[in-house]
Chain A
């Protein structure tokens, strides 16, 4: 079971695993270099998400990232509605959120892939998301090889006890040198 990390609206992205921003920024700490490296990786991943046009068009924002885990939220918007009678968001928009979140989780691995692309993604829709509520996806890259990364993800609305959807996917691992 994946845990859901809820953040208050407008909260700043932060590191996972209890690394406070102060500790990360403080180079005098014994593990300052490692923490600095982790912060650099998180910053690169955040820029990576923000540079994606389609994720921006769906107003996705990165809430948390680090160590193979990413949390991305997508606010409710009339433009995403799939069923006008109920106002429920289209499954395709939830797929897009899961896909982005899965890719971010892969990029945040300490192995440091140069890039990633989705090979396959399966989504199970457990229940309709409540109209008006932000959808938050949490993806975990639980295994990575030289060429493939494996991801699990879940999406929630304001009720973080019952997932709206879950997903599993395989992603490519692009290498900076020597090709994919």
Chain B
């Protein structure tokens, strides 16, 4: 006989707490003003518009560095959440007691290549990342960012990451 499935709010709460702990552990994510929407294991990063993100005040347009940072933050969070997914689901990761000190180590960026497709407008931006390859030591992640239309990307990037030791 099968065990009864866990109540939906227990599952949701565990996933949301783990994600929140990961996000809150990184000060630079708060500096940028990036938040994450979660649907199951799918993450959408949201760059909340702020005047400080501008790189060209005359157009105005988002700073290329703000865009690059947003893409890199999105890629690392997608990869981190994917690495921890099994532990979150099994309940092995205790999300309630996660602090910056007890947080699992995050992947480290080896290289990151940003492709700027059009200038970023002074409004919110969204990004989704896809882990194309995740091995024991290395991972390759692609990330796409858009503003008004999902099909009209304003930037995309590919990065390689060194996986954290999982002992």
Q: Which residues of A line the B interface, CB within 8 A? A: 51-58, 78-85, 89-93, 95-100, 103, 115, 117-125, 128
Contacts and interface: CB of A to CB of B under 8 A. Distances in A.
Contacts of A53: 51-55, 57, 63
A2 to B, nearest CB: 18
Interface string B88-112: 0000000000001101011011111
A80 to B, nearest CB: 5
B114 interface: yes
Given A82-B28, A121-B116, 15 more contacts: A53-B51, A54-B52, A54-B54, A55-B63, A79-B30, A81-B27, A83-B106, A91-B72, A92-B32, A95-B114, A96-B65, A99-B64, A117-B61, A120-B114, A123-B68
Contacts of A118: 64, 114, 116
Nearest to B158: A122
B28 A93 contact: yes
Instruction: Give the 10 A-B residue pairs with the shortest CB-CB distance, closest first.
Output: A96-B65, A92-B69, A54-B63, A90-B28, A84-B100, A118-B64, A95-B68, A99-B65, A57-B52, A122-B113
A74 B64 CA distance: 16
B26 interface: yes
Contact of B65 (A100, A115, A117): A100
B79 interface: no
B35 interface: no
Nearest to B65: A96
Given A79-B31, A84-B100, A117-B61, A54 B66 contact: yes
Contacts, number: 134
A32 to B, nearest CB: 32
A96 B63 CA distance: 8
A51 B119 CA distance: 18
Contacts of B27: 78-82, 84
B63 A99 contact: yes
Nearest to B24: A84
16 contacts: A52-B63, A54-B52, A54-B62, A54-B66, A55-B63, A55-B65, A56-B52, A80-B27, A97-B65, A103-B64, A115-B56, A117-B56, A118-B114, A123-B111, A124-B111, A125-B112
Contacts of B61: 117
Nearest to A119: B116
A49 B61 CA distance: 15
A107 to B, nearest CB: 12
